[in-house]
Amino acid sequence: MPDHNLPEATPFAGLTAPPEVPWPEGLTRVPYWVFQRDDVAALEQSHVFRGDTWNYLCLEAEIANPGDYRATTLGGVPILAVRDQDGEIYAFENRCVHRGALIALEDFGHAREFTCVYHAWSYDLQGNLKGIAFKDGINGQGGMPECFRMADHSPRKLRTAVVHGLVFASASDTVPPIEEYLGDEVMDRIGRVLAGREVEVIGRFTQELPNNWKLYVENVRDSYHASLLHLFFTTFELNKLSMKGGLIVSESGGNHVSYSAIDREAEAKAKAASDYAAQNIRSESDYRLKDPSVLEGQDEFGDGVTLQILSVFPGFVLQQIQNALAIRQVVPRGSGRTDLHWTYIGFKDDTPELRKMRLKQGNLVGPAGYVSMEDGCVGGFVQRGVVGASDRHAVLEMGGTDAKSTRTRATEASVRGFWKAYRQCTGL
């Protein structure tokens, strides 16, 4: 006779009710309820974003000088990233320890100290409580009790790490160091774009996605969809046969790099062949760009890689599409909506020609991007498509069942990798 007083043996302690169907073993099935439930969304904030993960906060360049700060969120919690007089970056919760009001209200700013507007409690740039208005009362009346020690009352501080100018933070004391968390290959690929460079922000936009955040981060890791959903390059016959590419999936599964490069060997062979023209892809299309200068980018990293999409679990993306460079930060807004923050970047030493090319190729990306606008709506198509199907699941078998690096991009290995890391974090 089962003892109904015992807690469920299945690990759904964080959910308000058991899932509609169990999550099948392995990495090739994803139940749709995971995109639909508010209790899952709440669990993710505490176990994923505020769990054993590193989360992107801002660019080091955005808080370049002592006193510069950036207000953002991590797992829904308001966070301040601040550069102190000692040159280091600190992150702490943007919440006054007195009555809980926000300490800083602007997204970006410069401060010598932070003072809560409500009752003027003040904090230094590392987030230590330094002042309490009328602490000793007025004319001997009122004031805080003798035993109140300011040192015992500070906003919660987060671990921070800077990787090639990217500021990450973690609410976890047990998450491994960022280098280990990212893995060597992902570190190298971040360095390929950003190492030793002085970043300059050239634009910031927020795209509101009508879908669960995981549908977007799946999409980012989904190298399989690129030439199928995004028809711009095909329509205008801009694809080249002589491309090679691959996929790197980190050990944890959570981080990935998808890249494609000009295959110089294949290109040389094709050129040598007498029927060079016949080797180009033929399509039915008669369309040509009126102004093809949009694609006359430079090989600025000197390795022929024209596309590198890199993600870090859970919500960070570094994008290089030709000369269009951007950071994307994925922020859940409940179970059915997501904020996608785009930061377009260049480098301080860009030549005018290269900078202009970044602006021009900005047309490829973002909410109006020739090869990205579809990503803004396709997550919504899934979100709407799976209504009433919370007992069904998605199929992820393209390229096998594992989550390992591969030479092909016709695979869902990095999507499976995401779910591997996700299930590890959430226990679902």
Q: Which residues bind another protein (CB under 8 A)?
A: 201-210, 229, 231-232, 234-236, 285, 287, 289-291, 293-294, 339, 344, 355-356, 358-360, 362-363, 366-368, 370, 373-374, 376-378, 380
Which of 63, 161 has the CB closer to another protein? 63
In the bound complex, what is the minimum distance in angstroms from residue 24's beta carbon to another protein?
31
Pairing between strand 243-249 and 77-83?
unpaired
In the bound complex, what is the minimum distance in angstroms from residue 231's beta carbon to another protein?
5
In sequence order, which ranges of 222-299 are alpha helices (DSSP H)?
Answer: 226-229, 232-235, 264-272, 276-279
Pairing between strand 338-347 and 199-209?
antiparallel
In the bound complex, what is the minimum distance in angstroms from residue 210's beta carbon to another protein?
6
Residue 43, CB-side half-sphere exposure with 13 Å CA sphere: 21
In the bound complex, what is the minimum distance in angstroms from residue 32's beta carbon to another protein?
21
In the bound complex, what is the minimum distance in angstroms from residue 395's beta carbon to another protein?
22
Which of 207, 406 has the CB closer to another protein? 207
In the bound complex, what is the minimum distance in angstroms from residue 68's beta carbon to another protein?
14
Which of 38, 208 has the CB closer to another protein? 208
Which of 241, 289 has the CB closer to another protein? 289
In the bound complex, what is the minimum distance in angstroms from residue 66's beta carbon to another protein?
21
In the bound complex, what is the minimum distance in angstroms from residue 60's beta carbon to another protein?
18
Residues 6+ apart with CB under 8 A from 263: 242, 243, 244
Gap between the Cα atoms of 416 and 25, Å rounded? 12
Pick the closest to residue 380 from 340, 410, 348 (CA basis): 340
Which of 207, 320 has the CB closer to another protein? 207
Which of 257, 331 has the CB closer to another protein? 331
Gap between the Cα atoms of 281 and 297, Å rounded? 21
Residues 6+ apart with CB under 8 A from 219: 225, 375, 378, 379
User: Are the C-beta atoms of residues 368 and 309 closer than 8 Å to each other?
Assistant: no
Which of 34, 340 has the CB closer to another protein? 340
Which pair of tokens denotes residue 227? 């030439």
Gap between the Cα atoms of 366 and 330, Å rounded? 13
The CA-atom distances, in angstroms, between 12 and each of 6, 9, 15 are: 14, 8, 5
Q: b vs e for 194-229, b when ≥16 Cβ sit within 10 Å of the residue's Cβ? A: beebebeebeeeebebebbbbbbbbbbbbbbbbeee
In sequence order, which ranges of 282-347 are alpha helices (DSSP H)?
Answer: none
Gap between the Cα atoms of 2 and 4, Å rounded? 6
Which of 16, 285 has the CB closer to another protein? 285
